[in-house]
Chains A and B, each alone.
Chain A
Amino acid sequence: MMELINPLLLAVILINFYTLGSARLVACIRVVAIQGALLALLPLLSHGMTFHAMLLAAEAFCFKGVVIPWLLLRAIRRVRIRREMEPIVGFVPTLILGVLTTVGAFLFADLLPLAPEHHDGMFVPTALATMFSGFLLLITRRKAITQILGYLMLENGIFIFAVLLSAAMPVMVEAGILLDLLVGVFVMGIVVNQISREFSTINTERLTALKE
């Protein structure tokens, strides 16, 4: 089982890059859904077929792989946008930044004072890289939908970390993550609806009007 983990984590990183470089929203949502589904395999692969791991996998698959992407696709159909136009930082520069942060994450993970059994695997660098990519997505995009995707990727990164900890801290971790995630999506959903109703656009830039 263990030998499957590294290719899986690599796939996660590739999906990060794809999301950073793509302008097509539907494709981005689908890819992030795939990322979530892949991550759902992670607890099974690392902890074996225990009940707890299966539960975690099922939860992750349902929420990350199915429910939230479906909600997002529905929202996108409602507001009728297909592409992320004019991001704050262009697609190629974001992609380069993403590569740089990923490299940085790998270098940085070596410096971290980790438990010895976590030192070799790709868990920690991938988690960091995914979190950074999520953050980049949040920072560089204008559309609220893409920003939700950014949050999702951020949460995916945290989830990778949490899989490492789930043996030590059962239930707490995943409950926290899923709750976070749901709250994030709901809040952003409300924001999207509000923005499109009030300003007839879902560019978060218009929120500047709310500045004091």
Chain B
Amino acid sequence: MNLLLSALLILFGGSLIALSVRSSTLATRVGILSVLVAAPMAGYVALKVLLSGQPLSFSAPWAVPGGEFSLLLDPLAAFFVLPISILSLFCALYAGPYMAHAGQSRSLAPHWFYFNIMVTAMLLVVIAANALLFLAAWEIMTISSFFLVAWDHHREDVRKAAWLYLFAAHLGMMLLLLMFLLAGSYCDGFNFNNFGPLAQLPIGSASLIYLLALFGFGVKAGLFPVHIWLPDAHPAAPSHVSALMSGVLIKTGIYGILRILSLLPPAPAWWGWLMALLGAGGALYGISLAAQQRDIKRCLAYSTVENIGIMLLGLGFGMVAAAHGHPKIALLAFAGGLLHIWNHALFKGVMFLGAGALVHATGTRDMNRMGGLLRRMPLVGLLWIGGSLAISALPPLNGLISEWLIYLSLAQAGTALDGFAALVPLLLFGLLGMVGALALVTFSRLIGICLLGEPRDPAAANPHKVAPAMLVSMGSLLAGCLMIGIFPQGTLRLTSTALSQVARLPVGAELGRAVTPLGLGALLLMAVLIILGGLFAWLRLFRLQTQTSTWGCGYPMPTARMAYTGESYAEFVSHHLMPKIMRPKVSGGKVSGFFPISSKLAQSSTDLVLMRFLQPLFVALADRCQRLRWLQQGQLPVYLVYIFVASAVLMVWSLWAGGHGGK
């Protein structure tokens, strides 16, 4: 535990030093160095706890009523500390060269201050064992990430995105405050180990706490109907920040849900159904919108909504199976959901860092202005393709393993459950399959339009060089993906202590057996691919080669504008698969007559939930609240009367409460 505490102190101290220095390079060095030192320490401690299953704890007094600086690193917390430390390490490494250009015109000291504070707060969130400490860390995490998102605050869209994030996060925070107050009212303290009486709650109040936790934490996690801040905030933030937020920060929401579930009585089936159905809906919704985005980082942000959906589907279905008394199926589903958390942290890290490298190199986030980048930036391109393979759940990478476990549990439940309960898992199986297919479309589109073909823009034809440190961090994360893909049984063994804590079931060796063939298959597949690739390369040596432009259509002077665009690639998805309400808005493009004048065609996709439901709701609320404006008279005496009345009422109330409640 001392190691972890000193890691926290190093991060915190690093942030303060980074803030106090003037020069950007020095701040960068301090920031990176403190993360480089602290993250392996935290990761090492987490690994030890995961392997041994022995929780570590620490407690110190804290001068806040009801608060105590008590920390607990049990397997569940360690399960989240590990990806946080790994991903923050590589994101910090990547950020050095990535931010160097911005550092010439403005000081990077605040950036590194908030970056280190955010990492500290994330670690503190998952190891806090006191409700007040947890909420404080949660709030610090929100605010520091808000400032990181708002890094380019001179741009209006960034400011708007950051406000939306802050607003959504605080709505969630409100639910969490309510939840912890409610939970605390049943117990005699705000330490998590005082929360024992929660396990004996009647189902009604327990359900209320569960729902508050699900939606309160869900806002941060990107749970489907409350994911609205995600698609705006991720593109607005610098890429390594998006990677860190998408990879681990939003997972703290899932951690919160799991932690609260571990304190509540065993979950009834409908809790699990709710989570699984919201997850499935979110996965389908997220991936269908991801397939329509031109902005590559927005596309990745929607893919985050999808992946969170898959995790919640796994975890929720695990709860269902456990409630129906099928421990084996529950273990498979929980293992899939949990493993997907790690997997997503790794491959979404690769994807966002790669997107950052492309944006850095070309100066645009619009995929229709990229193209031909694989030839010009082969290493970044290859790593990005690797990440896409992983995220589309293709072998030999890790995405397949976790989704496979979920598929397996759904299929087994389809045969083991009876009646109507058997139909739903099979339907979910089908939906998950559809999500997988759409993910394939989304990521083949992302790669195809950005990396292949001809450059559509002069900027894409002459991209800037990418620093080796950026490649190293992407490569290391991808190596992690590959390792989990080839050696899944070892990874599952690593998660088994956390898994048994979440599922409240003993974990046997059968899980490892369920995925071992996958690892072997992955190895075999890689061998086959390498042999075939070598064979084709060898054969190509003997062929006559003519080089023409991709999508040149045989014209003598083809232009890049003839090539597929992102919209045309996704046309099938958007116009044939989606319900009408989710289709992108198309404007222009009307051509008439024999010699038509030049015309424009534009297509834009907006978030349905935000635009159709939440925005009108809040606008209506704001209109209602306008009527309260008469309270604001602008007269000093009137305000003083308000103060007087409020304090008089408080005094009388405290007297009344003292007379009735206190004695």
Q: Which residues of A contact B632 (CB under 8 A)?
A: 211-212
Contacts of A210 in B (CB 8 A): 634
State how many angstroms separate the Cβ of B655 from the closest Cβ of chain A. Answer: 6
Indicate if A1 sits at the interface (CB-CB under 8 A): no
Partner pick for A112 among B634, B637, B655, CB 8 A cutoff: B655
In the assembled complex, B635 has its CB within 8 A of some CB on chain A: yes
- Complex formed: what's the CA distance from A135 to B659 in Å? 27
Partner of A140, one of B637, B655, B659: B637
Residues on B with beta carbons closer than 8 Å to the beta carbon of A135: 640, 644
Given the contacts A112-B655, A113-B655, A135-B644, A88 and B634 also touching, CB distance less than 8 Å:
no
Main secondary structure on chain A at its contact with chain B? helix
Please give, as numbers and ranges, the residues of chain B lying within 8 Å of A139 by CB-CB distance: 637, 640-641, 644
**Which of A54-62, A78-86, A167-175, A200-208 makes up part of the contact surface?**
A200-208
For B61, what are the chain A residues with a Cβ–Cβ distance below 8 Å? none
Residues of B within 8 A of A147 (CB): 636
In the assembled complex, the CB of A102 is this many whole angstroms from the nearest CB of chain B, namely 15
The answer to whether B636 touches A207 (Cβ under 8 A) is yes
Q: Bound state CA distance, A207 and B636, in angstroms?
A: 8
Find the A residue at minimum CB distance from B641.
A139
- Whether A138 pairs with B637 at a CB distance below 8 angstroms is yes
Which of B634, B637, B644, B659 interacts with A211 by CB under 8 Å? Answer: B634
B65 on the A face (CB < 8 A): no
Cβ–Cβ contact A113 & B634, under 8 A = no
Given the known interface contacts A139-B644, A212-B632, the answer about A88 and B655 at a Cβ–Cβ threshold of 8 Å is: no
> Within the assembled complex, what's the spacing in Å between the Cα atoms of A135 and B137?
41
Min CB–CB distance B660 → chain A (angstroms)? 12
Chain B residues in 8 Å Cβ range of A212: 632
Shortest beta-carbon distance from A126 to chain B in Å? 17
* Bound Cα distance from A113 to B61, whole angstroms: 32
B658 within 8 A of A: yes
A:40-72 near B, CB below 8 Å = none
Q: Which of A166-212 contact B (CB under 8 A)?
A: 204-205, 207-208, 210-212
Please, how many residues of chain A have a CB less than 8 angstroms from a CB on the other chain?
16
Contacting residues, chain A, for B634 (C-beta < 8 A)? 207-208, 210-211
Report the Cα distance A74→B124, complex, angstroms: 57
Binary contact track B627-653/A, C-beta < 8 Å → 1, others 0: 000001111110011001000000000
Nearest to A87 among chain B residues (CB) is B637
Query: Nearest chain-B residue to A104 (Cβ)?
Result: B648
Contacts of B659 in A (CB 8 A): 113
Task: Specify the chain A residue showing the minimal Cβ separation from B652.
Answer: A108
Bound state CA distance, A211 and B655, in angstroms? 36
A183 to chain B, nearest CB (A): 17
Chain B nearest Cβ from A72, distance in angstroms: 18
A204-B655 in contact given A135-B644, A139-B641, A139-B644 (Cβ < 8 Å): no
State A112–B654 Cα separation when bound (angstroms): 10
The minimal Cβ–Cβ distance linking B242 to chain A, given in whole angstroms, is 36
Verify B655–A205 contact, CB threshold 8 A.
Answer: no
Cβ of A204: which chain B residues have Cβ within 8 Å of it? 636-637
Q: How far is the CB of B653 from chain A (nearest CB, A)?
A: 13
Q: Is A111 part of the binding interface, using a Cβ–Cβ cutoff of 8 Å?
A: yes
| Complex Cα gap A207–B639 (Å) | 12
Q: Which residues of B contact A113 (CB under 8 A)?
A: 655, 658-659
Which has the most chain A C-beta neighbours within 10 Å: B632, B636, B655, B658?
Answer: B636
How far is A140 from B640 in the complex, measured between Cα atoms in Å?
Answer: 10
Asked if residues A88 and B637 are in contact (CB atoms below 8 Å), the reply is: yes
Q: Mark B124-147, 1 if CB is under 8 A from A, else 0.
A: 000000000000000000000000
Kindly list chain A residues whose C-beta atoms are within 8 Å of the C-beta of B633.
208, 211
List, in ascending order, chain B residues with CB within 8 A of A112's CB: 655
Residues of B contacting A208 in the complex (Cβ-Cβ under 8 angstroms): 633-635
Q: How far apart are A51's CB and chain B's nearest CB, in angstroms?
A: 31
Q: How far, in Å, is A150 (CB) from chain B's closest CB?
A: 9
Q: In the complex, A147→B637 CA distance in Å?
A: 10
Of residues 111 through 135 on chain A, the ones whose CB sits less than 8 Å from some CB of chain B are: 111-113, 135
**Using Cβ atoms and an 8 Å threshold, which residues of chain A touch B658?**
113
**Which B residue sits closest to A111, measured CB to CB?**
B655
| In the bound complex, CA of A111 to CA of B634 (Å) | 36
* Max chain A Cβ within 10 angstroms of own Cβ: one of B633, B637, B640, B659: B637
Nearest-CB distance from B39 to chain A (Å)?
45
Residues of the B chain whose Cβ atoms lie less than 8 Å from the Cβ of A88: 637
| B647 to A, closest residue via Cβ | A135
Which residues in chain B, 190-230, are within 8 Å of chain A measured between CB atoms?
none
* Chain A neighbourhood of B644, CB < 8 A: 135, 139
Could you tell me if B655 and A138 are in contact, using CB atoms closer than 8 angstroms? no
Q: How far is it, in angstroms, between the C-alpha of A140 and the C-alpha of B635 when the chains are bound?
A: 11
Complex contact A138–B635 (CB within 8 A): no
In the complex, chain A residues whose CB is within 8 Å of the CB of B636? 147, 204, 207
A141 to nearest B CB, angstroms?
A: 8
B633 to chain A, nearest CB (A): 8
Interface residues of B in 94-114 (CB under 8 A from A): none
Closest 9 CB pairs of A and B: A211-B634, A208-B634, A139-B637, A204-B636, A139-B640, A138-B640, A135-B644, A139-B641, A88-B637
22 A-B Cβ contacts within 8 A? A111-B655, A112-B655, A113-B655, A135-B640, A138-B637, A138-B640, A139-B637, A139-B640, A139-B644, A140-B637, A147-B636, A204-B636, A204-B637, A205-B635, A207-B636, A208-B633, A208-B634, A208-B635, A211-B632, A211-B633, A211-B634, A212-B632
Which A residues are closer than 8 A to B by beta carbons?
88, 111-113, 135, 138-140, 147, 204-205, 207-208, 210-212
Q: A135-B644, A207-B634, A208-B633 are in contact. List 9 more A-B contacts (CB 8 A).
A: A111-B655, A113-B659, A138-B637, A139-B637, A139-B644, A205-B635, A207-B636, A208-B634, A212-B632
Interface residues of B (CB under 8 A from A): 632-637, 640-641, 644, 655, 658-659
